Structure 1
Amino acid sequence: MNVTDVWRGRSVPRTAVALAAAGALAVEVLVSSPYIARASGTLLHPRWRWLVLAVIAEIASMTTFARLQRQLLAAGGLRVALHRSIALTFASNALSVTLPAGHLVSAGFTFRRLRTRGASIPLIPSGIGVVDGALIVAFVAGGLGTDEATAAVMLYRPISFALIGAIGWAVLFAARYARGTTAPRRPGG
């Protein structure tokens, strides 16, 4: 595509979106520039006592999360050494905060690492109590009341199950339709 294609109307919507995004970015930079200037001044002269305290608090928080994850895995029958759980937690967090869509990459990374250590996903919902309990605790820690957190988890479970199940069945039938068969293929046949 060249410049003349844009002005002939072939790519006007794409160009309009790009110009709107650039305009929004310019407005955001202009509006937030005083705050950025103050923040950069603060970063140039840190209060070392508070910085050290913040780093210690973050290490304690991450280590506590690793211990919680380790206990949840132990409740499911998987024993993981504490140092491995801490390493996995820090690595997963690093992926989560540094990559685009990092939370998705982080979840996939954690899942694969735990699978190599022997974790499995039950076909029946035997792990629901542990997972739901952890979700309720996380929601309450995030500021929801206990009743709201319990209601959110109780709504989340059937909705996520139905949605994932529907997507899985749709993909299965689409794959079979594309292959031209409705019956499962037999191994070796």
Structure 2
Amino acid sequence: MATIGWAQAHEERKPFPWRAVLHWAVVGTALGWVAWRIPGMVSQFTETGVHVDHVRWGWLLVAVLSGAGALAVYGELHRKLLVVGGVSLPSGTVQGINFAQNAVSTTVPVVGGAGSLGYGIQQLRRRGVSGPVAAWSVLMAGLITSVSLIVIGALGLAIAGELPAVVAVPIAVVLGGGTFGAWQLLSHPAVLRHGLLWITPRRWAARAESAAIRLSDNVASLRPNGREWPVLVAVALLTWVLDFVTLVASVLTVDVQIPWAALVVGFLIVQGSIALQILPGGAGLAETGLLGVLLSAGIAAAPAGAIVLFYRAITWLGLAVIGWAVYALLPRRLSSTNHS
């Protein structure tokens, strides 16, 4: 009897929750790292010499709202791409995944970018989205926003007088038109088939033709129509506009005059530092680059340092804290949804 009782107890014993332990270990480590960074940023603000009485709190609120809004608009781009793929998820669900994905991307060293893509796809699949549609939503959102940034960045530098128009306009046209042309190539079986047959040895022609048909069929099933493309591009552009507004509002928070050219260059340097992924969220490189641009534009060290701290505290650390909090709650929310 004792043996039977022990066997039953052994069978009823639940396995050790390794996944939950790992989940909370990741959350704790990330939040601990962010918390470790916050005192340093506070002390740096104190060292700038800008007194809190001189801070224009209304503009700081605008910066906070526009910074959060930029990320939320990026989440809406994810949702619209899912709709193109025939999937409709609640906006709150998509936004939660988006904010958590951003936290992974901007705070996890080395593999943050790739890890955030994998995390986003995994979370969508756990909610019933097929693998191709999940990958489409995550990867295309990044592609559209990246191309949009380069295009408007080149045009912005031309308007600011930092880049000749004869250079900026061709860059924008070639990149924008080339990306659209490549998409049209992938989504039209006949064109793709002829292209592959032209560059493929004759003995591989049959295999290349079948591969072209399969690839085009998969891509064409997710192809936005003529009315959806302008909306997707407009949403991607709005993401960057709101991010730039965050920088402008951070400048107005300390009430200084800065040339528009310096703001455009500084903004692009920050985004480039983030994209390089040398350090999470462009840590160090982004702050140094933006500060250098502001100082070279004739801004005093104190307000320049405050601008950098406000902008990065909002768009990097602030959103990272929110994202990791969402990351911690997402599994519990999914579990409660499955049991309801």
**More helix by proportion, 1 or 2?**
2
TM-score by length of 2: 0.29
TM-score by length of 1: 0.49
